[in-house]
Amino acid sequence: MKHLFRALCLILALCFASLPITGAGQMAHAQQTIEGPDFAAWEDTATRVENAIENGDVSTAVLEDLRRELTKWREQFTNALGANSTTIKTVQDQLAALGPAPENDTEASDIAAQRDELNRRLSRLQAPVRTAELARSRADGLIAGIDEIIRNRQTAELLRLGPSPVNPLHWPEGLLVLYQLADSVQREVLDDWETPVGRTVFNDNLPVVLAWLLLGLVLLARGRRWSNRLMRSITKEEVSAGRWMVTFLISLGEWLLPYAGICALAEALSATALFGPRGTLILDTVQPAAFIFFLARWLALQIFPRHEKRAPLLNLDSRCRYSGRLYGALMGLVIAAFYFLHTIAEQSKWSEPATNVVLFPVLVLAGLLLFNLAKLLLMHSRAARDDSDDEETFRDRLARLLARTLMLLAVLAPILAAVGYLKAAQAIMLPTLLSLMLLAVLLVLQRVVTEVYVMLSGNREGAYDALIPVLAGFALVILSLPLFALIWGARPAQLSEIWVRFTEGVTVGGTQISPSIFMTLAVVFVLGYLLTRLVQGALKTTVLPKTRLDPGGRNAIVSGVGYVGIFLAALIAITSAGIDLSSLAIVAGALSVGIGFGLQNVVSNFVAGIILLIERPISEGDWIEVGGKHGYVRGISVRSTRIETFDRTDVIVPNADFVSGTVTNYTRGNTVGRVIVPVGVAYSSDTREVETILREIAEEHPMVLANPAPNVVFTSIGTSTYDFEIRAILRDVNWVMSVKSDMNHEIVKRFGAANIEMAFPQQDIWIRNPEALSGKPTPAQEVPPSDATSPPPSQSPLKTVADYDGDGDGDGEGADGDGDGR
């Protein structure tokens, strides 16, 4: 299980040493000289590997060494595939220039001789490439065979039933190896002390030993306290992003200072020269174990903080956070103990029963701690769900699922170990604990990224949902995937193989698609896009304003340059990436058929947009009417046009509607337009005076043009009014409503001064029985004296044309709906 702990060390190695190592690797690679492969040596290596695979009794370590050797050979063959590429391309172009050979032997002798010479030369140039390609294919097959053997061995090891650690017969052997370890260290120290040379060396190194010992004890005893005191002095009521970053950097002292103390103590003990091989092994193993323990304790302090001014990472109270800090520190101690015991067992060649007995209590304790941590995570999920008014989020569901999975693994691993499947239990428990540590590292790094974003942008409220922190968190998760793979048993050689396959890419239609091609494509296209936007900005702000083009024409030119520039950028990017478009001709043909049937509306709108930019029947800023909607054109894009209505709403109209439909453009070419103001006056008004007043009102308005002069029209004699209209041409039709309002105000003022009565609807009422108003009954309404039930004449109802029901005297006048209005 060594690779599990190597993966943990790799997490920090990538954080602190990636740049120097990368730079050194690049310099070393740059200093190498590319030479052709030695195929004779390769044949010997391939034969040796094939024999090892066929025998099947070679150890896994030897197979790993052979695989690394094969990987180096494959890299040489890959480099050889590009040999003579320029010359081969030149010869192929020359053959293409000659064209295909005619079917009949009618080709000129000099051209035929030249063709044969080019073909022979091409064969000589391609021979090393083909040999390298065959060798590379053979290397791939051998590497795949070694990987399969190692994978089968790992599977068999996990499923192998070993000695049960709960069997009392194995307990004495487990206790014996621990006693022998302590006894061997004690005997090494005593033997060295009893020799004069050992005491002399100890006395000579005593000042150094005391200095390292004092430093180690001080760092262990006071290191965390110094960090806490410094953090409390910086932390205030309201912690800014900058203060939080400083506090976070200081908190690293809680991890690094005690670890430095352990290293100083180990150095002090090593300087005594009293330790032999066993003692040296323990000292060398204690330091990585202490590193793991202090790292886990520091992560527990970050995930379950003592005092958090802002919302903690987990929604837990102070008591639960204290339990989380305790469990996290104990979990680090368990991992460190497992690493220490496992390394000592391997180096000391302990027997399998003894190893199982020693490691079983550590696994049981790890299961208990993991179960308790899972309960805290489940409590966080429930608290987040109770505090949220909305439905449960995906993050809360994921936390609950993770908690239940951890509980299951915490119970399953000790049971497997008790039965005898200790390797399987280790493969479950240790990767789970290390994965939790890596998840904690990711959460802390995400918090750091968020605080850096807040420090740079000043946006605290939307920082957790901002795009940059989210993308940064996604990138951290992607970069951590190889580390998770290493933790869960993936070999570095497997990850290297995946990376090789990823960088090589795939072949689609005879074209090789790889990440380098995508990178080239993206970089060239982005540069072309930025250049296009730069040219558009220069045209829009510098060049075109100095011409006599109208704003619509300038916008059309800028949009056209944008379309052409983006198209050229895409074409140049594809060509620069080496993608052969001819190989995609069939796909493009099928795509065009699909566009013709499924995307014809989109294509028609796109073509209509091009037509609008060329013909320019409408331009940005025009007042138009389309589909019963009035508004100003605010933008013409590829598919649609955006119109802003007078009530400040946007209407998105497909471009095809402008080309195939009817559009009214009120401001095309100029803003001159006509206003019509209707006016109605009473019958008693002098029509000539009204006409004179209306003409004066129109002529006096500043927005009305003098040429052509405004006109007043006596349009009709209505049922209640004499109807007039002011018809005037405005210099800017966009002000038509304001002009109409001003004229109406002036009309009311001038008519009132001239005593001209404004018209209003009038109706004449004809009463069919006017004698009813005097209270005298008509002969038809007189009642005989003997009829006592008839109402008195004073209570007879009035009958008008408006409410007459047609039952009067039967003559039907006024009830026949002749519509004369009287």
pLDDT at residue 366 above 90?
Answer: yes
Tokens standing for residue 559: 């949009």
Largest CA distance in the chain: 163
Say which residue the tokens 């940064």 belong to: 472
**pTM of this prediction?**
0.67
Contacts of 147 (CB under 8 A, 6+ apart): 67, 493, 494, 497
Please give the order of strands across the beta sheet that includes 640-644: 650-654, 640-644, 629-636, 623-626, 663-665
**Looking at this protein, which amino acid is placed at residue 657?**
D
| Averaged pLDDT for residues 429-443 | 92
- Report d(CA 532, CA 534) in Å as an integer: 5
Contact between residue 126 and residue 81 where contact means Cβ atoms under 8 Å apart: no
Contacts by residues 164-170 (CB-CB < 8 Å, ≥ 24 positions apart): 164/356, 164/418, 164/419, 164/420, 165/353, 165/356, 165/357, 165/359, 165/360, 165/417, 165/418, 165/420, 165/422, 166/360, 166/418, 170/353, 170/354, 170/356, 170/357
Secondary structure class of 809 (helix, strand, coil) = coil
Q: Mention every residue, 6+ apart, whose C-beta is less than 8 A from residue 245.
A: 448, 451, 452, 455
The band of 15, judged by pLDDT with boundaries at 50, 70 and 90, is: very low
pLDDT at 807: 41
Answer with the residue of higher pLDDT: 159 or 818.
159
At 340 the pLDDT is 93
Tell me the two tokens of residue 135: 């060798």
Residue 821 predicted with pLDDT over 50:
no
Q: How do residues 327-360 score in pLDDT, each as one tens digit? A: 999 999 999 999 999 999 998 899 999 999 999 9
How does pLDDT run across 615-628, given as a tens digit for each residue? 778 888 888 888 88
pLDDT given for residue 338 in this prediction? 93
Higher pLDDT, 782 or 503: 503
Range of weakest confidence among 35-44, 199-208, 288-297? 35-44
Cβ contact 808:768 at 8 Å: yes
Q: Give the model's pLDDT for residue 362.
A: 93
The residues pairing with 800 across neighbouring beta strands, listed in sequence order, are 767
pLDDT value of residue 1: 47
Tell me the helix, strand and coil percentages in the chain, rounded to 5.
70, 5, 25
**Mean pLDDT, residues 96-113:** 78
pLDDT at 361 over 90: yes
For residues 409 and 592, the model is more confident at 409
Is residue 196 reached through a cis peptide bond, with omega within 30 degrees of 0 on the bond before it?
Answer: no
Q: Cα(738)–Cα(730) distance, rounded to whole angstroms? A: 11
Model confidence pLDDT, tens digit, residues 120-136? 888 888 888 888 889 98
Cα–Cα distance for residue pair 804/822, rounded to 1 Å:
13
Q: Are 641 and 617 in contact (CB under 8 A)?
A: no
Mean pLDDT of the chain: 81
At 244 the pLDDT is: 83
* Among the listed residues 358, 375, 372, the one whose alpha carbon sits nearest the alpha carbon of residue 417: 358
What DSSP character marks residue 541? I
Average pLDDT on 99-105 reads: 75
State the Cα–Cα distance between residues 661 and 495, nearest whole angstrom: 61
Backbone φ and ψ for 725, nearest 5 degrees, come out as -140, 135
Q: Closest Cα to residue 313, out of 405, 448, 404? A: 448
Q: Which DSSP state fits 798?
A: P
Residue 414 has a pLDDT of: 93
Specify the pLDDT at position 661.
81
* Residues contacting 441, CB < 8 A, separation 6+: 11, 299
Could you count the other beta carbons within 10 Å of the beta carbon of residue 165? 26
Highest-confidence range of 220-234, 435-449, 748-762, by mean pLDDT? Answer: 435-449
Q: Coil, helix or strand for 640?
A: strand
Identify residue 58 by its one-letter amino acid code. Answer: V
* pLDDT 10s digits, 277-330: 888 999 999 999 999 999 999 999 988 888 766 666 787 888 888 999 999 999
Alpha-carbon distance of 771 to 550, in angstroms, equals 78
What pLDDT does residue 621 have?
A: 81
pLDDT in tens, 235-246: 766 667 788 888
SS3 string of 439-454? Answer: HHHHHHHHHHHHHHHH
Comparison of pLDDT for 612 and 49, the residue scoring more: 49
pLDDT for res 800 = 38
- Return phi, psi of residue 464, to 5°: -70, -20
Q: Phi and psi for 650 in degrees, rounded to 5?
A: -95, 135
